[in-house]
Amino acid sequence: MNVPENLHYAESHEWVNPENPDAAPVGISDHAQAELSDVVYLELPAVGTVVAKGDSIAVIESVKAANDIYSPVSGEIVEVNEGLVEAPEPINADPYEAGWMVKIKLSDTSEIEGLLDSAAYQKILS
């Protein structure tokens, strides 16, 4: 299972890349996309939505079920990956790059420390 070192992970299997705290991309992990398999529909929040860590920010649907995506951080949604709404395949094919779902302007960068690093996330997967 691919778990990049530069990302931070929530136990609910979302990742965030805090490198640019004004527009930090968020998506779901390789493990999560494999568990879902065949994402067929994605519902994204409106740009400008203010979210708290743990809020549901998106709904992702496979053939079998609908699942909430929870924000790993607090902040404001500054960009959404509209292309995924038309064609969600990158969520399965490229979950850490083309499959990013939203970008969040972090309101509290210290929250990052409360997330799992790559090693800790790999541990909960094993």
Partner 1 sequence: MHRSPLHEKHLELGARIVPFAGWEMPIQYTGIVAEHHAVRKDVGAFDISHMGELEISGKTAKLFLNGLLTNDVSVLSDGEGQYTLMLNEEGGVIDDLILYRLDSERYFLVVNASKIDEDVSWITSQLEQGIALTNHSDGYGGIAVQGPKAVALWKSLEPEMPLPERNGISESAGGTVLCRTGYTGEDGFELFDSVDRIGEWFDRIIAAGATPCGLGARDTLRLEKGYPLNGSDLDGTHTPLEAGLGFFVKLDKPDGFIGSEALIAQKESGLPSRLVAVKLTGKAPPLRHGYEIADPSSGAVLGTLCSGSLSPTLGVGIGMAYLPAAFAKIGTQFSILIRGREFPAEVVKKPFV
Judge whether 51 and 31 are in contact, CB under 8 Å. no
Whole-number Å distance between alpha carbons of 113 and 52:
16
Residue type (1 letter), 6: N
> Given the complex with partner 1, which of 1 and 63 has the nearer CB atom?
63
Q: Give yes or no for residue 37 binding partner 1 (CB under 8 A).
A: yes
Q: Give yes or no for residue 62 binding partner 1 (CB under 8 A).
A: yes
Binders in 76-105 for partner 1, by CB under 8 A: 86
In the complex, least distance from residue 64 CB atom to partner 1, rounded to whole angstroms: 5
Determine the size of the site formed for partner 1 (CB under 8 A).
12
Judge whether 67 and 41 are in contact, CB under 8 Å. no
